[in-house]
Structure 1
């Protein structure tokens, strides 16, 4: 039987997407590193400092995540740092974020996600854009037994239903 300590819950985070051109990457990266103390991570990796986390979503594209601020305030802060050299957009209202935590979290995700989530392939600090149960998601792994998923808010109820049903299926395996 799977460990009943595995939990699924919504979490409230500020999400801001930052997209830069190749020409302006250096100046934006330096401004963020100097002001926030975080280097922009490569695609598929994350970096954090304090209450900020940055996911490398793709070439010249990142998702900046904060726990203790609202998306609008974070967007304004990043726009100031980018000094007109990046497209900065608050995604907080457009995405719902969920936490799946515990020893069976990976088993639950395996029921709907085609990525290899083994810690040797998708370790703590990894992130990816993927489909989970047919729903587009940003997936990241803050620690070995924890995952976070940001899905379109319009699909949040369907995603939560899938995750809760899958969690129960895993927890009640013989």
Structure 2
């Protein structure tokens, strides 16, 4: 079934990697992990720590750390050892299936089921958001102009993949008729 390859978008499942939910205030997280990891302070902000991973700020008190192997695995043990009572870490690697949606119509595909404004001016490269696609809770990460990572809870992943396959077929029909899919992302408002 995967990868799903359409003329203007490719959908695939990324290899499983370690993910940690970091719970605590920005100040507490920076105090504990600041020397090891760049902690994003504002919601929707993303930070990158070379050799460690990518950290997404989902809420004022919640970050998702996408651990890069192999250096990140050592960090996880150090983080656990240094975490005080006001900071909590939860293993989230098995919780999410990580989809990669790449191509000219990646944002148009997502906007077929999501009301979030995914125009580049409203959701630039390096942005993240907790939102819904077809009422399925997801986390979106924009890695490039035409590349999104979508984190969906494992029990709901098959449903979302099947929907994405159908939506990509619809986009292919639109493209084959010479019509533009730009209207699918124009006029959206942030939600």
Following superposition, the deviation at residue 75 of structure 1 comes to: 4.4
Q: Match of 2:34, SS?
A: helix
Cα deviation, residue 42, structure 1:
1.2
Contact 1:41–1:54 under 8 Å retained in 2: no
Aligned residue-pair number: 168
The C-alpha deviation readout for 1:42-84, integer Å capped at 9, x for no partner, is: 1011111225100010012100002325998664343234344
Match of 1:49 in 2: 49
Larger radius of gyration: 2
Matched, 1:16 2:17: no
Q: Deviations over 1:8-42 (max 9, x none)?
A: 1001232110011x4xx424214423113x23241
Q: Is the 8 A contact 1:103 1:145 kept in 2?
A: yes
Q: Which runs of 5+ in 1 are unaligned?
A: none
> Pairwise CA RMSD of aligned residues?
2.2
Check the 8 A contact 1:72/1:90 in 2, yes or no.
no
Gaps of 5+ in 2: 1-5, 178-191
Q: TM-score, normalised by structure 2?
A: 0.79
CA contact (8 A) 1:100 1:147 kept: yes
Distance 1:84 1:72 in 2: 22
